[in-house]
Chains A and B, each alone.
Chain A
């Protein structure tokens, strides 16, 4: 695996000894509690990613499952393949004026390759994916600090695996200071500091005032090392180094892609990782730790009790009844088909969507007592829908009253309210509900089966918010199967359903227009006013 990469990448020189080591064991070799395998043995299980049929070339430790690492793995697979001699993009040296630009590829080449190999039809999407890869620092534009991919003839270069983010670099400011410092020492235009870099350097000089001699010396040492390298190699390495810093010290305004979700931080493979220096500096003093890193949670491993509980649970699962996929699919499909008309993202709503038109008439309509036809139609979908809407509840209640059977709904509503009451009032209210609906000779006597009745009266010995849960379920089912269906067939409902309600807004508009015309000065003649009204 390491060999394949070496063919493609320009190898960092031997002097940077740390580098060589890093190549082989990219994850810092501190103790991990799971006795992880050597990173080299990252022979991947059959990839579930449809992208590649070959073994993962990624250097990410397969046991590292933190979210950033998962993405790095995928990117590294792509980046390895894209540099392949036969399957990848043509990486070449371009002659330009008096110089040669080594080891580059154009933006268009990358975009085309991504479209072909990731089956992407839209070039914009390929650029989005490419920019994601660039932002992580896996390839970079040679003439820009901003890491993104454009579909043009500009040149891009691939990053050396040493600098890959999967190596868990958290470079210190001392390293950054050395880097900026050495750039100023070499008299090359391509190494000139950008404005923000010059500002950063100035800040670092103030911060490290006491250490500056040390930093300066390190920078000089690095310059000496660099000078020994071949000119072409230096060009490549310098750009790769710069791209590395563009990731870890991004241009102001650019996203720092090394940031992690704080919820995931402590689950990283290497939570106590020692910060290592890009330039091989020995650690001074105690190794620093990120303040958010805390010891791995021990609840990941199951105990014997856990497994026993699991077995019990699995046995219940095994016995459960499963509905056929066809039935379940049908139910999902019919639900969404029924509600599609009400789904703003699929069907444009009438009247207009308030966010688009800044016209709140839709909500005025919802709040009004004159429901629209569409809204009335919804009450027919299910009892839940009818009860959800206050106007629907009201109409249903009215219907039941006409049948002298409103006690069921009134009971249901009373119990709903009980569930939301403050604790102190619950006991009393629960008793009141009993007296009204369930006691011997109750004024609004409801019909409960004996089993629910018994349970409820037991619950009432210690009344709580959920004492009536059983009873409420029973009554709900009764309403659903009996009164609700009759309600839908009733003339009360049907008449309302067929009635085309004139939206209030039309009247509203007329009134405001009248106000406008009244407030307009006497200079306007009657004829012109009429004209205005007609034209609106």
Chain B
């Protein structure tokens, strides 16, 4: 046991040294640097559309690469592809397992994926020859629930799981290409960098990790949260990471400064963050909470600039469309709302 003690001491000492090293580049704070720029003022978004059709809690949604299609997953056991402008359901896909926790839309628009308590990531082909949507692949290897998945292309997908790992899969062969292990708690969420070379994961060990996809390595780890990280995303320029946690805060970490730049919190916000999405410019952060609201933050000045109150139960997922024209929220109240 003595050896363990010594090793832990060594790790702690290194962590202290890293903290000190980080301090040496703190010649200012982001808030100070942003003090001079114009405030964005109150941001008031209205519900433009309500997508009705799910019969139970919605756990996830994801926009397609074009501006109007999106996919949602609900515990009623359905994956629905919506045309969000007309509110029509383009596809309603029945799932084998109703305990679905995540869904994703491929950039090409050809495929969607989902998974959950079945520990698998199921890929569906939307553009099958006979018009029927069928399961194309079932990616099975995780030993824990599937918490999140994101396509790199029609041939590769990354998944995160309650077994504390993330995996890069080759969809054609249905095999694991790379396993990203290192987190000490359930991986809850992942996001791919704009250049598709990296991805970040947030986990129940309260840390976020940046992974190099090709080199299969963890490049950086960010800590500071006091509870599970449920949501994670890249700042649009790819140089910073935003996390949302059960500790009721969101944090902004910069990759090049290797540290936290801002925390977004308010003493009147007690519930955890379930989901987040930055606006196209990165200036605004839209975050969904367990208290049924979405709070909008000015990422640079670290102030709350708006609230979206329209759901009757927890907001479980949020996404900004690819051209930034609208934001979509999904909730345990079984509805999706489009706002701008």
Contacts and interface: CB of A to CB of B under 8 A. Distances in A.
Interface of A: 48-51, 65, 67, 70-71, 74-75, 114, 118-120, 125-126, 128-129, 132, 255, 259, 262-264, 267, 297, 299-302, 304, 306-311, 313-315, 317-318, 320, 322-326, 328-333, 335-340, 342-346, 349, 353-356, 358, 360, 362-363, 366, 384, 419-423, 465-466, 469
B340 A356 contact: yes
B312 A255 contact: yes
When A and B form their complex, which 4 residue pairs have the shortest distance between CB atoms, in order from nearest? A339-B281, A329-B33, A343-B281, A314-B14
Interface in B253-288: 254, 256-259, 261, 267-268, 270-272, 279-284
Given A322-B257, A339-B282, A366 B18 contact: no
B270 A75 contact: yes
B74 to A, nearest CB: 13
A299 B282 contact: no
B92 interface: no
A419 B281 contact: no
A333 B214 contact: no
A322 B258 contact: yes
Interface of B is mostly: loop
A27 to B, nearest CB: 18
Contacts of A308: 7
Given A311-B11, A323-B256, A345-B284, A263 B261 contact: no
B136 interface: no
Contacts of B144: 297
Among A336, A345, A384, chain B packs the most CB atoms within 10 A around the CB of: A345
B240 to A, nearest CB: 6
A342 B247 CA distance: 32
A342 to B, nearest CB: 6
A185 to B, nearest CB: 35
A307 B8 contact: yes
Contact of B85 (A120, A326, A354): A354
Interface residues of B, number: 106
B34 interface: yes
A328 B254 contact: yes
18 contacts: A48-B226, A50-B267, A126-B268, A255-B312, A263-B186, A309-B182, A326-B28, A328-B261, A330-B33, A331-B239, A332-B261, A335-B237, A337-B37, A340-B281, A345-B279, A345-B327, A353-B340, A355-B340
A349 B283 CA distance: 16
B3 interface: yes
Contacts of B312: 255
B293 A384 contact: no
Contact of A346 (B185, B279, B307): B279
A322 B20 CA distance: 12
A331 B281 CA distance: 12
B163 A345 contact: no
A342 B324 CA distance: 8
A437 to B, nearest CB: 21
Contacts of A340: 281, 283
B256 A420 contact: no
B85 A67 contact: no
Contacts of B279: 343-346
Interface string B322-340: 0111110000110000101
Contact of B324 (A67, A330, A344): A344
Given A70-B246, A419-B153, A318 B281 contact: no
B244 to A, nearest CB: 12
A331 B283 CA distance: 12
Contacts of A128: 291, 293, 309
A335 B239 CA distance: 11
A93 to B, nearest CB: 31
B281 A325 contact: no
A317 B11 CA distance: 12
A52 to B, nearest CB: 9
B125 interface: no
Interface string B81-109: 00001000000000000010100000010
Given A343-B281, A346-B279, A423-B172, A120 B268 contact: yes
B235 to A, nearest CB: 7
B43 A345 contact: yes
A263 B101 contact: yes
Contacts of A325: 25-30, 33, 254, 257, 261
A329 B162 contact: no
A324 B28 CA distance: 8
Contacts of A70: 227, 246-248, 272
A420 B155 contact: yes
Interface string B58-99: 000000000110000000000000000100000000000001
B237 A331 contact: yes
Nearest to A255: B313
B45 A345 contact: yes
B134 interface: no
Contact of B18 (A317, A421, A423): A317
Contacts of A465: 155
A377 to B, nearest CB: 14
A75 B21 CA distance: 38
A335 B236 contact: yes
A354 B281 contact: no
B283 A343 contact: yes
Given A263-B101, A355-B326, 7 more contacts: A71-B272, A311-B10, A329-B33, A338-B281, A346-B281, A421-B155, A422-B155
Contacts of B235: 332
B52 interface: no
Nearest to B257: A328
Contacts of B326: 344, 353, 355
B14 A129 contact: no
A325 B34 CA distance: 12
Contacts of B324: 342-345
Contacts of B332: 255, 259
